[in-house]
Amino acid sequence: MKHELTLEEKAKFISSSNYIESIYLDYELTLNILKEPENYVNINLYDNLSDNSWRSYVVTDHENALDYILSFENRELVICDVIKNIHGILMKNQYANFDVMSGTYRSNFVKVGPVKKDEFFWYYYQAPAPKQIKNYMQQLEEKMICLDDKKNVSESDCWDIHDFFENIHPFSDGNGRTGRLLLNLLRLRYDLSFKNISSEKVKKYYKHIGDYGEKLGIGSIIKQENPFMTIFLQSPNFH
């Protein structure tokens, strides 16, 4: 399997995937970084990302991971190894302790969200405990074996692998971007079109993942007090 995207198509995918993770580097800037990465190495691209390692690497490492899935040979997949490789390339330069971070399953608990809000509480998705990750990833491997045995793989089959992975959330960071790269690796492997999640479809995308996790009961939903309500109740004007 060898597929090619234009630089413009790469920029569209990378900027959209980063946007979903609140990394707001627009299409034009992303494209310019891909064209002339050497001009952006020492520039802080985003004020809220003060760590030096969060500069052009959010684009250039993303491109390297994208190139990895685009050039992936059509051979038997050891999906857990492939996922670690994608994550390792994607996150290689983004943290000072990347030897621990990239391609390594998390040892900490993580929550995602809020996935739902009301007047008094915000609700978060609590991913499985670290000790459960290897077991769930083995289940993912088994799903992949079954997928390769099918004669006609559908879009929903590829989404099933993606959604299962996202609900495991095996890494401390970079799960969303890794998952969308994985989704496209599968789509291209089974002769489906390359998929880009636009900013207009982010809420639908997250709901899709959340509904899948709720159905299978992989993680759990936890609630915390609405921080704005807490501030309001503690305000002197309230009493």
Please answer whether residues 114 and 124 qualify as being in contact, where contact means their C-beta atoms are separated by less than 8 angstroms. yes
8 Å CB contact between 209 and 163: yes
Check if the beta carbon of residue 221 is closer than 8 Å to that of residue 126: yes
How buried is 107 (Cβ within 10 angstroms: 0-12 exposed, 13-18 middle, 19+ buried)? exposed
Q: How far, in Å, CA of 188 to CA of 25, rounded?
A: 26
Could you tell me the CA-to-CA distances from 184 to 21, 113, 155, 179 in Å, in that order?
A: 18, 24, 10, 9
Give the residue carrying structure tokens 């190139």: 67
Is the separation of the CB atoms in 10 and 34 below 8 Å? Answer: yes
At residue 48, the pLDDT reads 46
Q: What is the pTM of this model?
A: 0.88
What share of the chain has pLDDT > 70, as a percent? 85
How many Cβ atoms are within 10 Å of 162's Cβ, its own excluded?
23
Tens-binned pLDDT, residue by residue, of the chain (239 aa): 568 899 999 999 999 999 999 888 889 999 999 999 888 876 665 554 444 445 688 999 999 999 999 988 666 778 999 999 999 999 988 765 555 577 889 999 998 877 788 888 888 889 999 999 999 999 999 999 999 889 899 999 999 999 999 999 999 999 999 999 999 999 999 999 999 998 889 989 988 898 898 888 888 888 888 876 554 444 444 44
The per-residue pLDDT for range 16-34, each reduced to its tens digit, is 999 999 888 889 999 999 9
Q: In angstroms, what is the C-alpha Rg of the chain?
A: 19
Write the DSSP symbol of residue 15: H
Amino acid at 228: F
